[in-house]
């Protein structure tokens, strides 16, 4: 997803292979984006590239298609009929995204969606959708029914005067409408009188006003901002040396859970769902599965309920009209028609384009020109700071640290983004060539779509429209677009080392109530220039959590003054062996020398992962040892098995488990439990007792028991899963936090009050370190606690 689709990568490889060797050599020697573009631009065959891309883009469906709208609306109606209201609402959203704004069709989508939200009890959202339906020209003859729904919502919300007004309006409409056929009229009148009775009841005995939610209870985090680094705590300092580059160090002792950094992404792009790029479009034209684009706002990444579709395309959906308008103004008016191309070229190209659009042409030109300046060091921020090596960085001041402004401050700005290391010399020449082809393709498309003036922030398009016509014949990029292309090429390459994934905890599985199982999911790719200052370690000392497009960094353990702050770029020592980690980290062009890697590489310490994910002897259960052929460590036993056959057995077992888990959806929970218990037996015969899969089986059993309301059994299995997770990730890891959260829900549901309270306490302690005291999970835990403390004594005594 980050990179272009495979076919385009292959096309780039073919073009590269077909170049004259001398030219390939010169391209390989190009030392900057500027050189690559200067050499490469002339080689392009605009017609051939454009044709190849056009073919690939046909697979990405980003336009509005009336047939798709019909399909989704009918699917929505079908699910609505089966009372699957949230799924129906989502399908109506998809239908709405394919309809033209202001059409009766789109207003019907909103009206239908309002009905789904009404049944879900989301009365405010329902009212919003009714207003939307009206503003898009909802057909007059259908209006009374929708107005009755509006009145009912207002009644439920206790807005009695508004409800009375709405009812009055419906009454008038029904009275004046002679066309209405009698059965429909009768239903409406009946409903009307019911609502009027309800209104009178409410008016005569008003309900107490609802209390405001307990915001006051939230603890405010103390925060003293750093005067050098924007968004950072004053307990950090920005340092520089040639070995580690720029990095952050604790300037005082830091406690676990203390916030160290709060940063809004400079730019972020929602990762599209797989199904937006279909392999075979003839087979199933439309997909009812929800993708990220259906679930999260295209701009702010907030979860979508009643989404507002873009007026032009079908793929950008927003949480509100405000987000839609701001995104349109800032970048989407340029990106909108390029949707299919951007999906084809991958998220990195998309982020690169949005970065230059957000920065604005003037700022892009300033920095690109500055990078051409005689000072070669500008391409290599490390070299420019060599003179800092002798003196301690702090004394030398931060003004000379790359990315800092003239006041020596490091801010989340385009200048800071521009100064992130592109590692230009380390990427393969072929990869740079592909990236160049891709960014030039984007710029060509902008030029041909007549968007150049918009890209360059030019209000009057006269000059540009003239330019555009002559460009078209020559097929060459204007100097301004070449500048944009150069910056974009730099950003695409920077992303390989500096892209930060924004993740959210997403509900997985059936989600049918009692216990919510959440997993982290990659939502977007972003540039966070301040967060990018942190170096990697496979045993980091911080945790990063996200809220929308904002990242918060917290210490996950005590950090003594003087120690470097480390982020984990992905390969964590608890998840991978050292060889796998080093392999993954090679994309960042460095060899990790963190303590975990040194221990495993040099002192031969076996990794946590390999120790705990090992096999045991099928005969005597002693640990197995060896590489290709595994032998029992018990000399008396002398059994040996090929690792291949054990791995096959493991795969079969995983298949079995998967099959068992598909059962409960059809309400066959008892059978699922039987199958899982059998899997557990099998697993015990050849997996070590601490194997992660042993824990996963316990976790699945807990989930199935919970769906049956057998809380004690569920708790017992989950506790065993927690023991294994703890062995892998440690007692204060975020993984344990999530597990304890699940256990708290199970104990809560089973009225096991004292156990629930102590589990809530533990979960709260761990999760507030990683996610902060204001995270949704902490709020939910506190609600459970309040609820338990208000339980009547009679229930408490029973337990
Ligand atoms: Zn939004
Ligand atoms: Zn659009
Ligand atoms: Zn490491
Ligand atoms: Zn044995």
Give pLDDT, residue 795: 61
* pLDDT score recorded for residue 400: 77
Among all bound ligands, the one having the nearest atom to the CA of 569 is 3
| Helices vs strands, H then E, count in the chain | 35, 15
Q: How far is the first Cα of the chain from the last one, in angstroms, to the nearest whole number?
A: 52
Which ligand approaches the C-alpha of residue 338 most closely?
Answer: 2
Question: How far is ligand 3, taken at its centre, from the CA of residue 474, in Å?
Answer: 51
| Closest listed ligand to the CA of 332 | 2
Ligand 1 centroid from CA 410, angstroms: 28
**H-helix segments, 82-142:** 85-97, 104-119, 123-135
- Ligand 2 centroid to Cα of residue 336, in Å, is 4
What is the pLDDT at residue 288? 80
- Please report which ligand is nearest the Cα atom of 335: 2
What distance in angstroms lies between residue 267's CA and the mean position of ligand 1's atoms?
14
Distance 34 CA to ligand 2 centre (A): 31
Q: Please report which ligand is nearest the Cα atom of 308.
A: 1
How big is the chain, counted in residues?
A: 799
Q: How far is the CA of 229 from the centre of ligand 2 (A)?
A: 36
Six-digit token string for 695: 């824990």
> Cβ(511)–Cβ(230) under 8 Å?
no
407 Cα: distance to centroid of ligand 1 (angstroms): 34
Q: Which listed ligand is nearest to 619 at the C-alpha?
A: 4
588 CA from centroid of ligand 3 (Å): 12
pLDDT, mean of each 10-residue run, the chain (799 residues): 87 90 90 87 74 84 89 94 93 94 93 96 95 92 90 91 89 72 75 86 68 47 83 92 90 93 96 62 68 92 93 93 95 93 93 96 94 60 43 55 84 92 90 93 89 75 49 68 94 93 77 63 93 93 93 95 93 84 85 87 75 82 83 85 89 91 76 93 90 91 90 94 90 91 92 92 94 88 89 59
- Find the 299 Cα to ligand 2 centroid distance in Å: 12
The CA 420 to ligand 3 mean position distance, Å, reads: 22
Ligand number nearest CA of 634 is 4
Expressed in angstroms and rounded, the spacing between residue 564 Cα and the centre of ligand 3 is: 14
Q: What is the DSSP string of 191-217?
A: HHHHHHHHHHHHHHSPPPPPPPP-GGG
Ligand sitting nearest the alpha carbon of 624: 4
Dist. CA 121–CA 125, nearest whole Å: 9
What percentage of the chain carries pLDDT values higher than 70? 87
d(CA 127, CA 132): 9
pLDDT at 403: 83
Cα separation of 764 and 393, whole Å? 39
Question: Which single residue is written with the structure tokens 């107005």?
Answer: 147
Distance 310 CA to ligand 2 centre (A): 5
| Per-residue model confidence (pLDDT) at position 461 | 47
Task: Write down the pLDDT at residue 609.
Answer: 74
Q: Which residues, including other chains, have CB under 8 Å from residue 392's CB and lie 6 or more apart?
A: none
Please tell me the number of the ligand nearest to residue 615's CA: 4
Q: Residues 307, 93: contact at Cβ < 8 Å? A: yes
């Amino acid at each position: 997803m980050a990179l272009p689709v495979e076919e385009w990568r292959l096309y780039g490889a073919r073009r590269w292979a077909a170049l004259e060797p001398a030219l390939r050599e010169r391209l390989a020697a190009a030392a900057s984006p500027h050189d690559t573009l200067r050499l490469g631009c002339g080689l392009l065959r605009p017609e051939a590239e454009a044709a190849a891309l056009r073919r690939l883009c046909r697979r990405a469906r980003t336009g509005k298609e009336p047939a798709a709208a019909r399909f989704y609306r009918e699917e929505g109606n079908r699910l609505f009929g089966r009372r699957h209201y949230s799924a129906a609402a989502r399908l109506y959203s998809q239908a709405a995204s394919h309809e033209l704004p202001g059409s009766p069709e789109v207003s019907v989508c909103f009206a239908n969606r309002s009905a789904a939200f009404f049944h879900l009890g989301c009365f405010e959202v329902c009212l919003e959708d009714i207003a939307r339906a009206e503003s898009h020209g909802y057909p007059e003859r259908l209006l009374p029914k929708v107005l009755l729904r509006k009145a009912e919502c207002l009644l439920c919300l206790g807005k009695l005067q508004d409800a009375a007004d709405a009812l009055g309006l419906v009454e008038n409409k029904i009275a004046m409408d002679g066309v209405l056929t009698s059965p429909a009229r009768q239903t409406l009148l009946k409903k009307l009188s019911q609502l009027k009775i309800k209104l009178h009841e409410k008016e005569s005995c008003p309900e107490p006003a609802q209390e405001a939610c307990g915001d006051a209870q939230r603890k405010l985090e103390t925060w003293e901002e750093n005067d050098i680094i924007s968004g950072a705590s004053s307990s950090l300092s920005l340092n520089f040396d040639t070995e580690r580059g720029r990095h952050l160090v604790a300037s005082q002792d830091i406690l676990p859970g203390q916030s160290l950094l709060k940063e809004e992404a400079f730019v972020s792009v929602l990762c599209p769902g797989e199904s937006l790029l279909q392999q075979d479009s003839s087979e199933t034209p439309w997909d009812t599965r929800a993708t990220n684009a259906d679930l999260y706002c295209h701009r702010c990444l907030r979860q979508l309920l009643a989404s507002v579709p873009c007026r032009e395309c079908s793929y950008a959906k927003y949480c509100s009209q405000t987000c839609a308008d701001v995104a349109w103004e800032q970048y989407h008016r340029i990106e909108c028609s390029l949707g299919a191309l951007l999906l084809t070229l991958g998220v990195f190209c998309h982020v690169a384009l949005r970065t230059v659009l957000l920065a604005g042409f003037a700022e892009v030109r300033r920095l690109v020109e500055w990078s051409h300046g005689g000072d070669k060091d500008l391409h290599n921020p490390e070299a420019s700071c060599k003179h800092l090596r002798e003196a301690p960085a702090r004394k030398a001041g931060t003004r000379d640290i790359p990315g800092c402004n003239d006041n020596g401050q490091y801010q989340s700005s385009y200048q800071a983004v521009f100064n992130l290391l592109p590692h230009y010399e380390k990427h393969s020449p072929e990869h740079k060539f592909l990236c160049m082809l891709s960014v030039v393709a984007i710029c060509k498309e902008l030029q041909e779509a007549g968007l150049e003036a918009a890209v360059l922030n030019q209000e009057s398009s006269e000059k540009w429209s003239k330019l555009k016509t002559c460009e078209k014949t020559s097929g060459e990029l204007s100097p301004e677009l070449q500048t944009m292309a150069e910056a974009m090429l730099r950003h695409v390459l920077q992303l390989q080392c500096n892209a930060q994934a924004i993740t959210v905890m997403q509900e997985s599985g059936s989600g049918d109530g009692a216990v919510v199982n959440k997993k982290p999911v990659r939502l977007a790719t972003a540039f966070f220039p301040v967060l990018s200052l942190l170096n990697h370690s496979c045993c980091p000392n911080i945790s990063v959590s996200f809220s929308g497009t904002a990242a918060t960094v917290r210490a996950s353990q005590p950090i003594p003054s003087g120690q470097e702050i480390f982020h984990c770029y992905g390969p964590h020592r608890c998840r991978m062996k050292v060889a796998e980690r080093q392999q993954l980290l090679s994309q960042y062009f460095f060899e990790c020398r963190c303590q975990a890697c040194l221990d495993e590489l040099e002192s031969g310490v076996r990794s946590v992962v390999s120790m705990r994910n090992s096999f045991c002897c099928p005969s005597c259960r002693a640990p197995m040892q060896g590489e290709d052929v595994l032998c029992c460590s018990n000399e008396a036993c002398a059994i040996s098995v090929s690792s291949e056959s054990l791995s096959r057995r493991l795969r079969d077992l995983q298949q079995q488990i998967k099959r068992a888990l598909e059962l409960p959806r059809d309400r066959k929970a008892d059978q699922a439990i039987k199958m899982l218990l059998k899997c557990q037996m099998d697993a015990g015969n050849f997996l070590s007792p601490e194997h992660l899969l042993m824990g996963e089986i316990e976790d699945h059993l807990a989930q199935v028991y919970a769906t049956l309301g057998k809380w004690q059994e569920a708790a017992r299995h989950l506790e065993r899963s927690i023991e294994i997770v703890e062995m892998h990730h440690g007692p204060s890891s975020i993984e344990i936090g999530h597990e304890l959260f699940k256990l708290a829900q199970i104990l809560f549901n089973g009225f096991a009050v004292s156990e629930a309270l102590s589990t809530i306490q533990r979960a709260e302690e761990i999760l507030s370190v990683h996610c902060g005291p204001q995270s949704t999970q902490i709020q939910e835990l506190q609600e459970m606690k309040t609820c338990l403390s208000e339980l009547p004594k009679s229930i408490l005594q029973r337990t």
